[in-house]
Amino acid sequence: MSKRILFLAPYPHAEAPSQRFRFEQYFDFLKEQGYEIEMHSFLNERTWSTIYNHGSFFAKAIGILGSFWRRKLLLFKIRKFDYIFIHREASMIGPPIFEWVIAKVFKRKYIYDYDDAIWLPNFSQQNAKFQKLKAYGKVKKIIKWADVVTTGNSFLQEYAKQYNDNVVVIPTTIDLKNSHNQSSKQSNSLVNIGWTGSHTTMSYLDALIPVLQELEKELAFTFTIISNEEPNYDLQSLRFVKWKKATEINDLASINIGVMPLTDSEWAKGKCGFKALQYMALKIPAVISPVGVNTEIVENGKNGYLCTTNEEWKECLSILIKDQQLREQIGEKGYKTVRTKYSVEANRDNYLNLFQ
């Protein structure tokens, strides 16, 4: 008889990168191994479509109330599952009621997974009114009650170890077969430097803009931003591409050099290097800040570049713009790193072991 796994997550299936690249891309593999999968998101499609929009206060409030009701009904089905996997939180606001009921009332073990420093306050301006309801302190309780905790990097692991002894690192991974299955064409006559991310993380680019402005005076290139909102930067080279899931990989593959600047903060240390991994999976040389897990992913000058000062960023980008062969060499080595350590193929057994 097949065993059943319940996945609890904040967002609808195939919508949020955090979910897509941490566990959703293993669903087919788990089904092939004989497991039955059910995923229940806190937000439904309608609420997800409005939650990050400006305004719509009442629509958001009604949607959240509906989310709590669906979670309550789901509790009556908990006993039929052999395994319970909770990503980030069972409910996006309020105390960890559902985790407490699962662990303390139903006496069920659960696997808890997270990939950001979610114990730190972090919210968009669109949802500032709700931020006090987030109850950031609940993270340590959810960790404490879990049977197993999986984190995206060692920084997150160290935090979890304060409250739970059974903590393992499973990196955020890339599907090289079904998703990131293209390669950047480095023969472009005009080199395309690129960055991808949501508007909430675009501020990390602020420190890089002066570097790009200086480079514009010396070299010809395009700087492409792939995001959900259009940026407002004073750059002659700037090109905006609206992020779309259907064209995500094609848009990324048009980049010749991928950048990932970060500030050295506690929140940034919790990040799992996903942008860098996306670039490297497409054989795009990644130029990134040496913050957190980035220093584990990239070995400077071999499979990518780590830059701190403006001078380092300018020198590195300048060299790569001028040298197509170097871009190809670094891109190839970056791809091998992803294939060996950060691909779905390389981490399937890590997920399978959680459910055995």
Alpha carbon distance 72, 133 (integer Å): 19
Sign (positive/negative) of CA torsion 351, 268, 244, 14?
A: positive
Backbone angles phi, psi at 121, to 5 degrees: -60, 130
- pTM, entire model: 0.92
pLDDT of residue 222: 98
Alpha carbon distance 60, 198 (integer Å): 20
Burial 54-68 (b: 16+ CB within 10 A, else e): eebeeebeebbeebb
Alpha carbon distance 190, 192 (integer Å): 6
Give 113's strand partners.
87, 150
Domains of the chain are 4-170 (3.40.50.2000), 192-342 (3.40.50.2000)
Tokens in use for 283? Answer: 């054989």
In this structure, the strands spanning 83-87 and 36-41 are unpaired
Tokens in use for 27? Answer: 């669903």
Give the model confidence (pLDDT) of 222-255 as tens digits: 999 999 999 999 999 999 999 999 999 999 999 9
Q: DSSP character for 210?
A: H
Angle of the 324-337 helix axis to the 274-281 helix axis, nearest 10: 110
Which one, of 252, 286, 242, 285, lies nearest residue 182 by Cα? 252
pLDDT of residue 122: 67
SS3 206: coil
Residue type, 179: S
Rg, the chain, Cα only: 21
CA dihedral 13, 15, 18, 21 (to 10 degrees): 70
pLDDT of residue 61: 86
pLDDT of residue 187: 87
pLDDT of residue 123: 52
Tokens in use for 345? Answer: 């193929």
Please list the pLDDT of the chain residue by residue as tens digits (356 residues): 689 999 999 999 999 999 999 999 999 999 999 999 999 999 999 888 887 777 677 888 899 999 999 999 999 999 999 999 999 999 999 999 999 999 999 999 999 999 999 999 865 444 445 566 678 899 999 999 999 999 999 999 999 999 999 999 999 999 999 999 999 999 888 999 999 999 889 999 999 999 999 999 999 999 999 999 999 999 999 999 999 999 999 999 999 999 999 999 999 999 999 999 999 999 999 999 999 999 999 999 999 999 999 999 999 999 999 999 999 999 999 999 999 999 999 999 999 999 98
Chain position carrying tokens 């300048």: 318
